[in-house]
Structure 1
Amino acid sequence: MRKTWLLGLGFLSISMTWALYNAFVPLFLANYLKSAAMIGFMMTIDNYFAMFLQPWIGHRSDKTRSKYGRRMPYLLIGMPLGAVFATLIPLHTGFVALVLFMVLMNLSMSIFRSPTVALMPDITPENSRTQANGIINFMGGLGSILAFGLGAPLYKQAPYLPFLCAGLVMLFSLVILKSFIKEPIALTGYGDGSSNPFQTERETRSPIRIKDQFDRTTLFILGAIFFWFVAYQGVEALFTLYGTKYIGMSDNDAAFSLTFFSLAFLAFALPSGWLGAKYGKKRIIALGVLGLFVIFGSIVFVKSVLLLRVLLVVGGLFWACININSYPWIVATGREESIGTRTGIYYFVSSLAAISSPPVLGWIIDMFGYPALFASASLGMLLAALCLIGARNDNRSAGTGAIDQAPPAIQ
């Protein structure tokens, strides 16, 4: 697990950068745009890259063969570029420069995000991947907390300081990953000594094609992922409006209330990974989905701030059961050689939910009032639970190419 904690540094730097981006870039945009809807649209650029670029990058990394491995070439290119453009964002001199730096940063982050995530199952035996995913999500959550805790005072001193620090952390984490993370030689070696970092392997046991990944179990899992992310993303995006307009909270109290959900998720990230390994990923995910179905449905009838926060704490625990185990499950239903491809598909579906959920749930609120937010989120979890019924358990039979052995020893 030592390598998993080191890999977690990469996720810490990614989460720190995105947390700062989401917190402060809207303030930069507000200097040029008066429409909140337009600002919100500009902030979804990353989701569009995730939908259309990350599946291709993940698929491409599966076929990459180099002396650096399958995933590392993308990190070596994307992470330095991401650090540079993130640092340049607060140094913009006008709206065009700001948008240019935003687009280039999002493009750079998309180059290495799927390969970085795919590194976890590459270097981790299948029966340990839920614990490993708990570790890297814990590190990612820690990065967000550091961004909020240290970013605000640094921003007051100078707007560029938090972004500069995030860029330096990203470069430091790249050095650590390059120095200590070695991919399995059976998956990265090609035997001909070629130094082309993007040479693709032509002699595999069968080609990895995106369309071949959509078997019955995968489709049901992706359906569940879409519906629970619709519920989660809608609540996350619209909760402060719900708290202020319906509960009567102040802006700060409403925003602070979401912290209870996030901290509970962070605290339960490691235990939920252990539970998934011990009792099965599908079973723990189902527990989380049904738990959030009840929690979101109960919040509809709650107007007490104290009780609301208690329910959010419990909801964060259930969300950890879902989010920590879902990615290892989608990877476990495919071949070892298709990890990057399936990682990209996972990001495509979750990003599609992130793009569609806020406007759809916002429209529902306009039609039926603010209580409809959590009623809709509860319905989303119910639909996710129905999708889970159609999905098989953690692995398919050996004859279908499922992962039933640990990957080769890490060199």
Structure 2
Amino acid sequence: MKKTWLLGLGFFSISLTWALYNAFVPLFLDNYLKSAALIGFMMTIDNYFAMFLQPWIGHRSDKIRTRFGRRMPFLLIGMPLGAVFASLIPLHNSFVTLVLFMVLMNLSMSLFRAPTVALMPDITPEAKRTRANGIINLMGGIGSVLAFGVGSKLYGIGSFVPFLFAGVTMLICMAVLKAVIKEPIVTGLAVSSKSEARPPVRIKDQLDRTTLFILGAIFCWFVAYQGVEALFTLYGTKHMGMMDGEASFSLTFFSLAFLIFALPSGWLGAKFGKKKVIMAGVAGLFLVFASIVFLDSILMLRVMLIVGGVFWACININSYPWVISTGAEESIGTRTGIYYFVSSLAAITSPPLLGWVIDVFGYSALFISASAGLLLALCFLLGASSGERSAEDRSAA
């Protein structure tokens, strides 16, 4: 578990960098673009890279064999490039250079996201993966909180300071990971005997019935979550009558509850099974979102958001280890890429979809739509078997 905490530094640096990026890059774009829709589109660049690059890179990291391991080469290339281009973003001198640095940073971050995530199951026994995922999500959450808490103060010193801080942090975390994390030796494709050699992992072979049902559920619950996250501030101000600060502050209750319950939800997944805990989380979050439709009290809204954060931890902490546990060990990187493809597709789809519903039916429809997405996710879960193989079965597959 010590290595898992140290691996969490990779997620810490990723979350820190993205939180600062999402907080301050819109301010840079606002100097050139006066359309909120265009600014919003520019801020989704990372999701497009995640959709098309991360599945391929995750798949490639399953197949390569180097003296540094399968995943580490992607970190050694992507993290320094990400640090450099993140640091350059506030130093732009035109819209063209701003977009160029944004694209290059997003490309660099996509190079190592899936391999970093795949390192966790590489170095963690199956029985401990949900708890390990709780640890690395906790580290990522700490990175986000630190970005919001310290980033504004650093930004007051100079717009370049928080980005430089993120870049230096990323390089330090990379050095620690390189020194501490030693990947297990995987011989799969290097076996000389044709009779013993395993066939290469193919993406289409990973899309069995169980996996497709799981991915369908993941898409639906991320549509619900991403839509609420993106549009909640507008819901709070226009439907609940909050001030801007009150609305954004209310989401903190959800995030902190998720952060606090990250480790316990991983323990529950290991003890009772990932599918059972996820189903409890989806059913619970459905009830929370459905009840918010009828609330007009800010206090009760925040109480329900705390409860919702607990249920979201049950879902989010256990979903990635579940996707991994339904396939062979040699497919970890490939399945990681597929997982991020589906979640990124939901992130791109959800805000405009739920925004259109709000335009037609009003802001009260936000949590009705999100509840419907969770109900559909629950239907997908009912159609999926637990699908978890033993470590011996996955190694032999």
What range describes the TM-score normalised by the shorter chain of this pair? over 0.9
Structure 2 Cα separation of the partners of residues 35 and 404 of structure 1: 54
> Per the alignment, in what secondary structure is the counterpart of residue 198 of structure 2?
coil
Instruction: Report what 1:276 is aligned to.
Output: 269
Contact 1:80 1:171 in 2 (8 A): yes
Instruction: Report what 2:29 is aligned to.
Output: 29
1:306-345 to 2 correspondences below 5 Å: 306-345=299-338
Instruction: Report what 2:167 is aligned to.
Output: 167
Could you report, residue by residue, the CA deviation over 1:279-316 in whole angstroms, capped at 9, with x for unpaired residues?
Answer: 00000000000001000000000010000000000000
- State whether structure 2 residue 394 is matched by structure 1 residue 395: no
- State whether structure 2 residue 377 is matched by structure 1 residue 384: yes
- State whether structure 2 residue 266 is matched by structure 1 residue 254: no
Instruction: Report what 1:129 is aligned to.
Output: 129
> Per the alignment, in what secondary structure is the counterpart of residue 247 of structure 1?
coil
Structure 2 Cα separation of the partners of residues 273 and 346 of structure 1: 18
In structure 1, stretches of 5+ residues that fail to align are: 193-200, 406-411
Contact 2:122 2:183 in 1 (8 A): yes
The CA RMSD over aligned residues, in Å, is 1.8
Instruction: Report what 1:184 is aligned to.
Output: 184
Structure 1 Cα separation of the partners of residues 388 and 352 of structure 2: 36
Contact 1:70 1:188 in 2 (8 A): no
Structure 2 Cα separation of the partners of residues 29 and 144 of structure 1: 21
Structure 2 Cα separation of the partners of residues 243 and 148 of structure 1: 21
Count of matched residue pairs? 396
% identical aligned pairs: 74
Deviation at 1:392, TM superposition (A): 1.0
The normalised TM-score by structure 2 is 0.97
Deviation at 1:402, TM superposition (A): 3.5
One-letter amino acid matched to 2:149: G
Structure 1 Cα separation of the partners of residues 206 and 366 of structure 2: 34
Contact 1:284 1:321 in 2 (8 A): yes
One-letter amino acid matched to 1:168: V
One-letter amino acid matched to 1:101: F
- State whether structure 2 residue 43 is matched by structure 1 residue 40: no
Instruction: Report what 1:61 is aligned to.
Output: 61
The normalised TM-score by structure 1 is 0.94
Instruction: Report what 2:344 is aligned to.
Output: 351
One-letter amino acid matched to 1:96: V
Contact 1:114 1:343 in 2 (8 A): yes
Instruction: Report what 1:84 is aligned to.
Output: 84
> Per the alignment, in what secondary structure is the counterpart of residue 57 of structure 2?
helix
> Per the alignment, in what secondary structure is the counterpart of residue 65 of structure 1?
coil
- State whether structure 2 residue 20 is matched by structure 1 residue 20: yes
Query: Structure 1 stretches (4+) deviating beyond 2 angstroms?
Result: 186-192, 201-204, 396-399, 401-405
- State whether structure 2 residue 97 is matched by structure 1 residue 97: yes
Contact 2:51 2:341 in 1 (8 A): yes
Structure 1 Cα separation of the partners of residues 159 and 70 of structure 2: 37
> Per the alignment, in what secondary structure is the counterpart of residue 185 of structure 1?
coil
Could you report, residue by residue, the CA deviation over 1:314-356 in whole angstroms, capped at 9, with x for unpaired residues?
Answer: 0000000000000000000000000000000000000000000
Could you report, residue by residue, the CA deviation over 1:237-271 in whole angstroms, capped at 9, with x for unpaired residues?
Answer: 00000000000000000000000000000000000
